[in-house]
């Protein structure tokens, strides 16, 4: 993947960049694996906004992705590499030898015609899915399960990966790209390789309208509001906030407050990505 630049024909175009989509092999999706999904626009089941600054956006259909990779010991052939508007990573359409077709997340350097398989133990090849206990130390993996047969939950976005550090006492230790080191049950499944579209974070949006295509509405600073609308609002000129800590529109502390409270998985975290967060002081 490379970053495409544009001639500065307008202020919005001057610094805008995008992916060149060289790896994409087709613009047509496989219809049986595509469905329409109702847009929630940041609202809950009562129609009230619970997530601000969401709404609008270009129309798009949802692609059904096989995160579980539960089609065991059946060889599949990569038919197409496609763009997915619902995620930053690319997806690949797999033709299995029994005739079934499924979408999977496309790892880096996966090409049309490559063979992949999902099994408890198999070759360490890009796109193959196997149990963590059978993956050698130092291997890069993605789409990692937190619970056996629960489907991949970790490392699913563009360029994401984790490194397998080793297995001991039915637990496999992995290091995430964020710096966090944690343990998982060795019966969990992971897919070999680093996800493609790794330069996704280098794309410059360039103009506000392009954000709106993604369904992201404008965000207004609290200090720019009136006191009735936000705790940071009011004051003459650019006044400093009256609260001792930055808070949300509803008074919730937004910076520095520890929100994690999950003892079951806390004990499996060896090193956190942020020093001093929670009980880990390393």
pLDDT band at residue 282 under the 50/70/90 scheme: very low
pLDDT tens column, 87-143:
999 999 999 999 999 999 999 999 999 999 999 999 999 999 999 999 999 999 999
* pLDDT exceeds cutoff 70 at 278: no
HSE (side-chain half, CA atoms, 13 Å) at 202: 11
- 277, pLDDT greater than 60: no
Residue 281 pLDDT: 43
Residue pLDDT, tens place only, 4-28: 999 999 999 999 999 999 999 999 9
| Nearest CA among 196, 149, 150, 139 for reference residue 173 | 139
Distance CA 156, CA 89 (A): 7
Compute the CA torsion angle 4, 89, 131, 166 (nearest 10 deg): 50
pLDDT tens track for 209-255: 999 999 999 999 999 999 999 988 888 888 776 667 889 888 888 88
| pLDDT tops 60 at residue 279 | no
Residue 258 pLDDT greater than 60, yes or no: yes
Name the token pair of 138. 């130092």
Question: In sequence order, which ranges of the chain are alpha helices (DSSP H)?
Answer: 11-14, 208-213, 263-266
Mapping DSSP to helix (H, G, I), strand (E, B) and coil, where does residue 202 land? helix
Q: Extract the tokens encoding 29.
A: 């999706």
pTM over 0.95? The answer is no
Distance CA(190)–CA(193), nearest Å, equals 9
At which residue do the structure tokens 């010991």 appear?
A: 73
pLDDT (tens digit per residue) in 166-208: 999 999 999 999 999 999 999 999 999 999 999 999 999 999 9
| pLDDT 10s digits, 227-237 | 999 988 888 88
What is the set of domains in the chain, with CATH numbers?
Answer: 24-40+56-196 (2.30.30.30), 220-282 (4.10.950.10)
Local structure of residue 64 (DSSP, 8 states): -
Please check the confidence at residue 275 and state whether its pLDDT lies above 70. no
Reported for 267-275, long-range contacts at CB under 8 A and 24+ positions apart, including other chains, are 268/171, 268/182, 268/183, 268/184, 269/180, 269/181, 269/182, 269/183, 270/173, 270/181, 270/182, 270/183, 271/179, 271/180, 271/181, 272/180, 273/176, 273/178, 273/179, 273/180
Residue 276 pLDDT: 57
Strand partners, 96: 76
User: What mean pLDDT do residues 35-56 have?
Assistant: 92
pLDDT at 235 (0 to 100): 86
Strand order across the 140-142 sheet: 129-131, 189-192, 140-142, 162-168, 171-176, 181-185, 269-271
Residue 280 has pLDDT above 60, yes or no: no
Which pLDDT score, from 0 to 100, does residue 243 have? 64
Rounded CA gap, 159 and 108, in Å? Answer: 8
- Residue 194, Cα to own-chain centre: how many angstroms? 13
């Amino acid at each position: 993947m490379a970053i495409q630049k544009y001639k500065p024909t307008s202020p919005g175009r001057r610094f805008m960049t995008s992916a060149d989509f060289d790896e994409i092999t087709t613009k047509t999706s496989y219809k049986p694996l595509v469905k329409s999904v109702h847009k929630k626009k940041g609202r809950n089941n009562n129609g009230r906004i619970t997530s601000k600054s969401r709404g609008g956006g270009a129309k798009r259909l949802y692609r059904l992705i096989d995160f579980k990779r539960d089609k065991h010991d059946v060889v599949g052939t990569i038919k197409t590499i496609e763009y997915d508007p619902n995620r930053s990573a690319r997806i690949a359409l797999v033709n299995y030898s029994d005739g079934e077709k499924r979408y999977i997340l496309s790892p880096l350097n996966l090409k049309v015609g490559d063979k992949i398989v999902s099994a408890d133990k198999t070759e360490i090849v890009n796109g193959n899915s196997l149990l963590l206990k059978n993956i050698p130390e130092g291997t890069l993996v993605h789409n990692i399960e937190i619970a056996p047969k629960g489907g991949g939950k970790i490392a699913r976005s563009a360029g994401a990966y984790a490194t397998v550090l080793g297995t001991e006492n039915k637990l496999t230790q992995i290091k995430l790209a964020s710096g966090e080191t944690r343990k998982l049950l060795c019966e969990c499944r992971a897919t070999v390789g680093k996800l493609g579209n790794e330069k996704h974070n280098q794309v410059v949006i360039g103009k506000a309208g392009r954000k709106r295509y993604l369904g992201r509405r404008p965000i207004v600073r609290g200090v720019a509001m009136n006191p009735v609308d936000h705790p940071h609002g009011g004051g003459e000129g650019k006044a400093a906030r009256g609260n001792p800590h930055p808070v949300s529109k509803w008074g919730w502390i937004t910076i520095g407050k520890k929100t994690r409270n999950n003892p079951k998985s806390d004990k499996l975290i060896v090193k956190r990505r942020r020093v001093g967060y929670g009980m880990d002081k390393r």
